[in-house]
Structure 1
């Protein structure tokens, strides 16, 4: 058995496995484009006697954590031929990939799970969710007099990205986008965009949408203030002769649109989305910003991580008066942990998806009450989100 990166001549076998596993077909011009964008160094495969049995793609990405860009390894396209399944090939790939990410300084890893329990076994945990709304035209937000104007289909990626970045950095776990990502993963030929400008000409929000089967399909709705939100909704409501309603996807979990509607009784859905995993606990904990305390404090934490042994074990976790931390490995048979959790739980604690107290109540975080309250005190409140897919 060999685990290695693919080479440029292995595009066809990689594509064939993806087509079979994900049940789609690429041909003609689309296949030519896919081949031109094929980056074999990002695809890791398990080979038996030179034959590809399983593969995954490791994407070098960055996400915003506390408003700062952090290196993240995005795992995508995990695929196995049916005759090779349940032989531990994906487990071997994931373990190898964790080591690769650690060596590359990617302190976090994200993936979209085909089966959540499967990836939980390897340390990934759900870290965000999104809402979906279906709103009939009669229940749209009321039209208002706009103090500004909306410009449609400018496709100015610089402006879109500036607005997106201001919005995205309010959340932990959102993707830092570059021009290539905007062009190939966000915008396509069927996507319209509308940008709201204030009276002084400042862009303050945008909406990405499609019109499908007499419905507005809204992929992203980004606004910097209430004026922009109302202005964009008035623009959308002016489609009332063309559509019967709107479907909003990837709505942040802290959104309160239904409360603001004249009639809040609309179809709503909460959807657990991506999973996250700390790759290197020491690096992540020490680059995180904590609430300032009245005195330097420390606790002993036991981190359980059998798939990344450099994280597993007892650590002394201290936070100083400036809100920065150190995580120092602690050895000794007589040392008892004040706190204990697995790497997935530590991930969602620090990202802000769940709070220490609630995880303690349900047994995901164990420890004495004082240590749990210490975590409650040092970890800032935060919202998580992700508006992309890979």
Structure 2
């Protein structure tokens, strides 16, 4: 059995067939298999590894070189995707071996963060990943937006196909990446698939020529549903302008379904809006995303609170040792080695998932202990809470 990296056309006979079996209806037709070649350019920069034995591909996993905002600083991130195993080779440890090598290589290339959408969260928790909030879906009758038709809102909205408006969309998501904790973006070679497929409308809200909100959407049929992807806005005017546009579809569609981040409150958008907000978690097709630190270097220089604590990292391949986390200047200093033990602040013992949960802002230090992700005494919990206040990440990128 060997693990090797595959490139270009090799994916057609190695990784792609396994991924198609794992994530699509099967068996696929010959015509569907022919579409694989058209998908190759969008995988060109991925790092794809396979396990092989006697010329047969047994398992595959890929990492997409992405970027993610962690507490206000954009860093490189390994987006793990396309994890699949031959049906006759499952539960034999192939994925564990692949992930260890894949994350080794991505970390060595300078990716201090990693994120993924898991088929089973508990499996990836053993690899140091921790769950992030899942985006919600707000569903409502378009007729309930009628009051917005009378609203006099500043700015304008622009409506176009995504194939035409893609540069505007990309530029706006780049701004969101800089401004929003947890936000992540595909590399350009992967992101342009949205433009090339050209299967969505793009709606943008603009003020003074600057884009302040954007959403992509599709309509299934007359009298049916308008399904919008992530509603991205920078202020309430932009949100209301986009919703006002949806209100104009009252005689065309019955329902709108809009994906929203966890800090959006659609129940407060309008009075008498009958809205259903849902975040459904099921295995294996609809689990919340997960993320982890691959290096403590990801923490150095982050804007943090004035806490000071020593963390002992345990049970992980990539995060280990004793580190002093000092935020007394407002910028996190990470001290490693003898200097980390020369002072005596409170001490917490953390797994990689525990430290990642604190850095991403998804768990309180007490919850880290309760979840079995570390041992956090009361004094250390106080300092960690000061360093890493609760902050909800919004993992925009959909793998």
Quick one: which of 144, 150, 154 aligns to 2:157?
150
Whether the 8 Å contact between 1:8 and 1:40 is mirrored in structure 2 is no
Shift of 1:197: 2.5
User: Counterpart of 1:82 in 2: which secondary structure?
Assistant: coil
Quick one: which of 7, 27, 43 aligns to 2:32?
27
Whether the 8 Å contact between 2:325 and 2:332 is mirrored in structure 1 is no
Q: 1:116 to 1:141 in 2, by over 3 A?
A: farther
Shift of 1:178: 5.0
- Aligned partners of 1:187 and 1:252: how far apart in 2? 26
Shift of 1:194: 1.5
TM value normalised by structure 2:
0.86
For 1:127-155, what per-residue CA distance to the aligned partner results, in whole angstroms no more than 9, with x for missing partners?
A: 23211111112333731123232221063
Number of aligned residue pairs: 379
Q: 1:91 to 1:357 in 2, by over 3 A?
A: same
1:211 maps to which residue? 219
Q: 1:38 to 1:194 in 2, by over 3 A?
A: closer
- Range with greater deviation from structure 2 (157-166 or 115-124): 157-166
User: Counterpart of 2:302 in 1: which secondary structure?
Assistant: coil
1:14 maps to which residue? 15
- Aligned partners of 1:268 and 1:329: how far apart in 2? 48
1:173 aligns to 2:182 (yes or no)? yes
**1:276-295 mapped onto 2 (5 Å cutoff):** 276-281=291-296, 283-291=297-305, 293=306
Whether the 8 Å contact between 1:142 and 1:262 is mirrored in structure 2 is no
- Aligned partners of 1:99 and 1:266: how far apart in 2? 45
Quick one: which of 113, 122, 125 aligns to 2:130?
125
- Aligned partners of 1:38 and 1:365: how far apart in 2? 37
**1:1-390 mapped onto 2 (5 Å cutoff):** 1-10=1-10, 11-24=12-25, 25=28, 27=32, 30-39=35-44, 42-140=47-145, 142-143=147-148, 144-153=151-160, 155-185=164-194, 188-198=197-207, 200-213=208-221, 214-249=224-259, 251-271=260-280, 273-281=288-296, 283-291=297-305, 293=306, 298-308=308-318, 311-329=319-337, 338-360=347-369, 364-390=373-399
Q: 1:96 to 1:363 in 2, by over 3 A?
A: closer
- Range with greater deviation from structure 2 (148-157 or 123-132): 148-157
User: Counterpart of 1:129 in 2: which secondary structure?
Assistant: coil
- Aligned partners of 1:179 and 1:224: how far apart in 2? 23
Q: 1:22 to 1:123 in 2, by over 3 A?
A: same
Unmatched runs of 5 consecutive residues or more in structure 2: 281-286
- Aligned partners of 1:336 and 1:230: how far apart in 2? 49
Considering only aligned residues, what root-mean-square deviation do their CA atoms show, in Å? 2.7
Unmatched runs of 5 consecutive residues or more in structure 1: none
- Aligned partners of 1:93 and 1:17: how far apart in 2? 14
User: Counterpart of 2:135 in 1: which secondary structure?
Assistant: strand
For 1:88-135, what per-residue CA distance to the aligned partner results, in whole angstroms no more than 9, with x for missing partners?
A: 111111111121122111101111101111111111111232111111
